[in-house]
Amino acid sequence: MADSFNFELVSPERLLLSEAVSEVILPGTDGEMTVMAHHAPVMTTIKPGIVTVRTEGGENQRFVVFGGFADILPDTCTLLAESATRVEDIDHEELKQHISNAQEDLQDAKTDAEKARIMEHLANLETLQNAV
């Protein structure tokens, strides 16, 4: 059995998960990363996507996050998400509305920088929609 470490997933609304786990897969802005016990210390930003958590018992739990950051230490990982929910609790209509809003924002964007930021957000939302 793999070593375990403490993992907490926190959103502004609540603590979604706090337990010993064997593995966490995070959607980092620089790419997907797997965190295991004894990981080198690092702090990374999180893009919208799926966080997969493997508990000590081997069960996988999946959460949708909309940005945030993760603080990773050898014996703990804390993910502070801008927004997070369990995959099975996703409201697909709400996700479609987020995509629609982003498309409208893109049409209203005035600068190239604003357009680029919105296009990246829209791409993340569409990827997320395809994942769930």
Q: Which residues are CB-contacts of 44 (< 8 A; sequence separation ≥ 6)?
A: 26, 28, 29, 30, 33, 69, 70, 72
Closest to 83 (Cα-Cα) out of 65, 102, 95: 65
pLDDT of residue 127: 73
Tell me the per-residue pLDDT of 4-60, one tens digit each, with 9 for 90 and over. 999 999 999 899 999 999 999 999 988 999 999 999 999 999 988 899 999 988 899
The pTM (predicted TM-score) of the whole model is 0.77
Average the pLDDT over 72-83 and give the result: 95
Residue 107 banded pLDDT, cuts 50, 70, 90: very high
pLDDT recorded at residue 1: 52
